[in-house]
Chain A
Amino acid sequence: MTAQTETTSPVRSLLPRLRIWPRAGSGNGMTIVGTVIVLCFAIATIGVLIWPPAEAYTGNLMERWKAPLEDGSVLGTDQLGRSLLWRVAAGMPWSLGIAFTAAVIAITLGTAAGLLAAWSPGPIRRVVQHLVDTVIAFPSLVLAVTVIALLGRGFWPLAATLGLATWPIAARVVYAEAMSISKRDYVMAARLAGVGSTTILITHVLPALRPTLLVMFAFTFADMLIAESALSFLGIGVPLTAPSWGNMLSESREYLVEAPQQMLVPATAIVLAVVAFNLIGDGVAAKARSRSRAVE
């Protein structure tokens, strides 16, 4: 992720490179902590998909607004007496599922576009670069709000819109990285030996891109989770009855006085997931950097 300046405006070249991420610990430690949290979320998500918890949707009004740990409720209850623990769990397939799908769409499209730009002649490259610069310069949330207004709420409209609004960032990184990889000695050697450019792409460039893609996926996932919750929070995301984390936060605004836990529980879930993915991304990036430094 060094040659980011290549496609961008010269103003961006003043910005320091990605290594400014603060190091919250050694690369490995961060990755492990992040991975453990993410695995817990993943297992819980699969569990909720297999056994949907009825407690998340039905509650007893007599038991509403229980504080956390009050009368045996773990995280408290909401305005309808539904368990917040189960609601936050039932929201995982929505919030994490949409973030995952959107990140996959964004990274896949971005990688394809970045490699296309790196591997094609001037005119196509310039078209892709212009497209990327143009989309990046626009507030993605504004775009997403507008498109979803027309497409309607739901899992797929949301995931597709977020993915389509985000791919240019991935394209820019992949392009810069692919350009720098294609100048390495072993790629030159393969080319001199007469290996075709498609084969070089698959056998040499894609494997070398792997750490970059992993880092990007982690950061993109975190961004997509934030964006999904933001849209649901604005009331323009998933269906209003779905217990996604953004919807829970949106509901909680009405009851900040009576039940702050209604806001704090989904907020903690979002922050925990985002920090976990940032930890993974940062840890992998730190490790990749130290390895490339060792090679040099």
Chain B
Amino acid sequence: MTVWTTIRGVLSKRGLELAILLFAISTLLFFLLRLSGDPAAVLAGEEADPDLVALIRQRYGLDDPLIVQYVRYVLSILTLDFGESLRGGQEALLLVLQRLASTLLLAFLALIVTALISVPLGAWLGVRPDAKTRKWVNGIVFIFQGIPGYIVGLLLIQLFVVELRWLTSIGNQGVTSWILPSLTLASFLAPKMVRVVAANVSEAMREDYIRTARANGASTADVLWRHALPNALLGATALIGTQFAFLMSGSLITEWIFAWPGFGLLLVQSVEQLDFPVVQAAVFVIAGLVFVVNAGTDVVFRLIDPRLRRQQA
């Protein structure tokens, strides 16, 4: 199987899923908006004067039959025309894309922090089977897994901003303001990642090739670094792909807590202001981003892991 057939296979399967998803979501949003009452009144906001409502009806073609509105809506979305923000008047899609860099920066930082925590901890847990310390660390990881990310964020603010006054907790104001948001977002993924690395390492340590290496006189450290860890990390990196959607959910909360100027914050604010064009554009951009990351990891892993290459796309 060549590189291109692999990529084409992944893209066609994932692309179909993305198309179905975006179609389903946009249809859902369209009908929910109409179910929730007169969209013109919703768009104009509470206590709007009737002239404004009439203007909105005319401008958005809300007097046409529902099916006509729906077709027009789908066509405009196919051309990536989400309309303008109801609050600022800027183009909704542009507004969202401007926030892309911030969200990606945060996700990238969080992944680095996750790796820094979970690779050493996971490798250590995986190598030491049935030690008493292992039981304790497992218990701690177990409890950490029960602490939602927004509580971690609040605790970090309480400790480093309120008590110690070392850091700030608002917005993106340079490197020191990156620390708490990236720690918070990392806390969504890190406990899961520790478990996966630990399980993968301990599984790899029992493989035949490890026993062979050991029989040839390799030390535990040798075996870990040269054989078990590379294998384990492959699986752990795959977790990033499958958990990216979850990471985006976490990003929504993290950005809101720290007023981080990414599109998660924009989405929450737009939802509160009922700014539907922006909500719609944000949902589409997030879906697209998740698609790119999922398809990307799928392709990369098919290319580097011979076991996957043999399976059908």
Contact = CB atoms under 8 A, between A and B. Distances in A.
A234 to B, nearest CB: 6
Interface in A142-196: 142-143, 145-147, 149-152
Interface string A222-260: 100010011001111000000000000100110011001
Contact of A230 (B16, B142, B234, B253): B253
Interface residue tally on B, bucketed by range: 35 or more
A94 to B, nearest CB: 16
A227 to B, nearest CB: 9
B21 A278 contact: no
B271 A139 contact: no
A14 B301 contact: yes
Contacts of A149: 271-272, 274, 279
A126 B302 CA distance: 23
A142 B245 CA distance: 9
A270 interface: yes
Contact of B20 (A130, A151, A229): A130
B245 A15 contact: no
A72 interface: no
Given A150-B29, A278-B145, A14 B154 contact: no
Interface stretch (A4-12, A80-88, A201-209): A4-12
B238 A271 contact: no
Interface in A122-147: 130, 133-143, 145-147
* Among A133, A230, A274, residue most surrounded by chain B Cβ atoms (within 10 Å): A230
Given A130-B17, A230-B148, A270-B151, A139 B286 contact: yes
Contacts of B279: 146, 149
A161 B154 CA distance: 26
Given A11-B238, A24-B138, A257-B162, A141 B252 contact: yes
Given A11-B241, A130-B17, A263-B154, 19 more contacts: A13-B308, A14-B301, A14-B305, A15-B196, A23-B135, A137-B21, A139-B249, A139-B290, A140-B245, A141-B249, A142-B282, A143-B25, A230-B150, A234-B253, A235-B268, A236-B272, A249-B151, A256-B154, A267-B155
Interface of A: 9-16, 19-25, 130, 133-143, 145-147, 149-152, 222, 226, 229-230, 233-236, 249, 252-253, 256-257, 260, 263, 267, 270-271, 274-275, 278, 282
Interface of B: 16-17, 20-21, 24-25, 28-29, 32-33, 35-36, 135, 138-139, 141-143, 145-148, 150-151, 154-155, 157-158, 161-162, 195-196, 198-200, 203, 234-235, 238-239, 241-242, 245-246, 248-249, 252-253, 256-257, 267-268, 271-272, 274, 279, 282-283, 286-287, 290-291, 294, 297-298, 301-302, 305, 308, 311
